[in-house]
Amino acid sequence: MIETLVCDCWNEKQPGGFESVSSWLDAAKTKYAESSQSVPLKSTITGLGDETLILEITAKNDSYLWTLIVLK
């Protein structure tokens, strides 16, 4: 989805020091699992052109709600 909506340039730019989208998602998942999970986790990526990506993870009952926001 990021490649389609933003650019196919993640490997080249490696925003936030993450080598791939998958490594960004894994890091967010780990950080959220280690947190108190009482507040949503927000992870922001810039440096992919004019877009900003915001990943938000929120506990929802016995599962998690993952929201990806693309700001242009």
User: What's the predicted TM-score (pTM) here?
Assistant: 0.85
55-60 mean pLDDT:
92
DSSP code at position 65: E
Specify the number of domains making up the chain: 1
**18-54, pLDDT tens digit by residue?**
999 999 999 999 999 899 888 899 999 998 888 899 9
Question: Domain range spanning residue 52?
Answer: 2-71
Q: With the CA atoms of 70, 5, 13 and 53 taken in that order, what torsion angle do they form, in degrees rounded to the nearest 10?
A: 10
